[in-house]
Amino acid sequence: MSQQLTETQAWQALEAHYQNVKDADLRTLFAEDGERGERLTAEGAELFLDFSKNRVTDETIRLLLDLARERGVEARRDAMFRGEKINITERRAVLHVALRAPAGTRIEVDGQDVVPEVHEVLDRMSAFSEKVRNGGWTGHTGKRIRTVVNIGIGGSYLGPEMAYRALREYRDPALALRFVSNVDGANFEAATEGLDAAETLFIISSKTFTTLETMTNAGVAREWLVGKLGDESAIAKHFVAVSTNTEEVRKFGIDTANMFGFWDWVGGRYSMDSAIGLSTMLSIGPDNYRALLAGFHAMDEHFRTAPLERNLPALLGLLTVWYNNFFRMETLGVMPYAADLARFPAYLQQLQMESNGKHVDLDGRHVTYETGPIIWGEPGTDGQHSFFQLIHQGTKLIPCDLIGFIKPLSANAHQHDLLMANFFAQAEALAFGKTLDEVKAEGTPDYQAPFRVMDGNRPTNIILADKLTPHALGTLVALYEHSVFTQGAVWQIDSFDQWGVELGKVLAKRIIPELSAAGDAPLGHDSSTNALIRRYRAGKA
């Protein structure tokens, strides 16, 4: 059995250190050290991280790095890259890094190099995408495909939708993407509204090909299409599948020649760069898709080789541990200053919370410390006009990552200056606030002065990239993947399973037939669930 985190030397040193620095103020830290803003930064894979506006000293960083070393973060990272089965509860390798490894790299699972298979699928995806994009692949009636509908949920949806929005500038305008994830029929109806079935291609994206929501929506889509085109054989030209489960794909009626595979060593939430990215590739084209993969790979290489002191994902992960476990913060905000990254926080919610929302360590013991924080966020500047008030003046400590880009996507450079002025200003305001003296010096009346004081000392990370390109998006996603990894390694949890989502699925299956049974049919749940189901039955009758 490994040593409990809280018993390690590094942890105890951090606890003692925390008592000394917990009240340290960013104003003072910056006033006493003119180089802080230059020194507490790191760069890698074309991303720049300024972590100087955190409630840390150089000693904090040194101790956090000691913690990472004592917990074997580097050894665990190397084990992941070697294809070892570090997902111990499912006895699986964790090799999303192989999805973006250049051809010729050797990464083995059970003695077999997986990189050639990855590239074989990528090549098939490229050929298919080109064919759809250039009109070589037509629908059943000979019409060109104009809309692609991705049906999938969780990891088979959030990444593709996030990327579609993020890479708006790189899309083929002649090919629209829509997404169906929710089992709520309204989702399918809204997504297919106004579509011509003859020009629509469905991608059924599901690692397992058994997920209730996806399989239900896939069935509805099949009925919709056959209903509109009046011919079962139309399915062949309007349905493709992305899955690890060939048998289920065949049973559903999709020709496995039109199936794009991936492997059990790719976790759902780590799969947007596997064949699950087919919709992304269709939209932005194979070359841009490969640039996205190159961005992922650049960050993988940085994570794998840079010393922890300058390692962006390691630093980001350790800072999360610092706030989560010592300041006992509950949440972490992620605010992209890019309207096109609107879905990035939602993507990160699954990545982080499904990975690190765990209560048992690798030895099966209940942890005695906090694990994964709650992740949330909205793009800036929108957030500034809704919830930022609480971050600035509320009673809770909410560390935030602010993500910005130097170059605009929009043609309006002035608007980009306005956006970025807000980006820099928010971090400044959060860190340094405004004292009572400063408020009074502005001529604020006494009755109002205390309300206008901003304590400051609110931590932020600034993540700066050149431009929101496919490459940059890849580096950003991989940055967070490896930050999540670092956190999980420190907490010694399995960041790659998701047993917590199972019970709800099982209970729902039991309830499904009960909802259409007779009003007085017996129920065997607790009194609350029984009463609710009876009320629902009565209401729908």
Active site members: 354, 385, 505
Return the residues of window 327-386 that contact ligand F6P according to CB under 6 A: 354
Q: Do residues 380 and 334 make contact, with C-beta atoms less than 8 angstroms apart?
A: no
- Minimum Å gap between C-beta 155 and ligand F6P is 3
Question: How many residues in the shown chain lie near ligand F6P by CB under 6 A?
Answer: 14
Question: By CB under 6 A, which span of 206-214, 415-423, 473-481, 485-493 interacts with ligand F6P?
Answer: 206-214
Which helix (H) or strand (E) element contains residue 296?
helix 278-305
State yes or no: residue 182 binds ligand F6P (CB under 6 A): no
The reply on whether position 501 binds ligand F6P by CB under 6 A is yes
- Length, in residues, of the chain: 541
Contact yes or no for 242/124 (Cβ under 8 A): no
Residue from 4, 8, 208, 435 that binds ligand F6P (CB under 6 A)? 208
The HSE-up count of residue 418 (CA atoms within 13 Å, CB side) is 7
353 Cβ partners below 8 Å, 6+ apart?
372, 374, 375
* Gap between the Cα atoms of 456 and 468, Å rounded: 30
Exposure of 143 by Cβ count < 10 A (0-12 exposed, 13-18 middle, 19+ buried)?
middle
Give the tokens for residue 161. Answer: 């939708």
Q: Please, are residues 183 and 213 in contact by the beta-carbon 8 Å criterion?
A: yes
Q: List, in order, residues 6 or more apart from 453 with CB less than 8 Å away.
A: 433, 434, 435, 436, 439
Nearer to ligand F6P, 243 or 320 (CB): 243
Applying CB under 6 A, which of residues 83, 139, 155, 470 lies at the interface with ligand F6P? 155
The dihedral built from the CA positions of residue 76, 81, 86 and 87, taken in this order, carries a sign that is positive
E strands, 78-171, in order: 108-109, 112-113, 147-151
Of the listed pieces 91-99, 203-211, 460-468, 478-486, which binds ligand F6P according to CB under 6 A? 203-211
| Residue from the set 83, 139, 154, 404 that interacts with ligand F6P by CB under 6 A | 154
Q: In whole angstroms, what is the distance from residue 138 CA to residue 180 CA? A: 22
Least Å distance between CB 215 and ligand F6P?
8
Which region, judged by CB under 6 A, interacts with ligand F6P, from 5-13, 141-149, 204-212, 462-470? 204-212
Pair 209, 260: CB distance under 8 Å: no
92 binds ligand F6P (CB under 6 A): no
- Smallest distance from ligand F6P to CB 357, Å: 12
Window 258-297: contact mask with ligand F6P (x via CB under 6 A) = ----------xx----------------------------
Residue 163 or 197: the one with the smaller Cβ distance to ligand F6P is: 163
Please, which residue, 157 or 423, has the CB nearer to ligand F6P?
157
Q: How many CB atoms lie within 10 A of CB 37?
A: 12
Task: By CB under 6 A, name the one of 153, 312, 319, 430 that touches ligand F6P.
Answer: 153
Please tell me the number of Cα atoms within 13 Å of 176 on its side-chain side: 12
Near ligand F6P by CB under 6 A: residue from 211, 324, 461, 483: 211
Candidates 87, 147, 187, 206: give the one binding ligand F6P (CB under 6 A). 206
Beta strand 41-44 pairing with 47-50 = antiparallel
Compute the least distance from the CB of residue 330 to ligand F6P, in Å.
23
- Considering only CA atoms, give the Rg of the chain: 25
Of 52, 87, 129, 214, which one interacts with ligand F6P (CB under 6 A)? 214
Q: Which of residues 414-453 bind ligand F6P (CB under 6 A)?
A: none
Tell me: does residue 156 bind ligand F6P (CB under 6 A): yes
Residue nearest to ligand F6P (CB): 268
Among 52, 496, 498, 514, binds ligand F6P (CB under 6 A): 498
- 91 or 414: CB nearest ligand F6P: 91
* Residue numbers at the binding site for ligand F6P (CB under 6 A): 153-156, 206-208, 211, 214, 268-269, 354, 498, 501
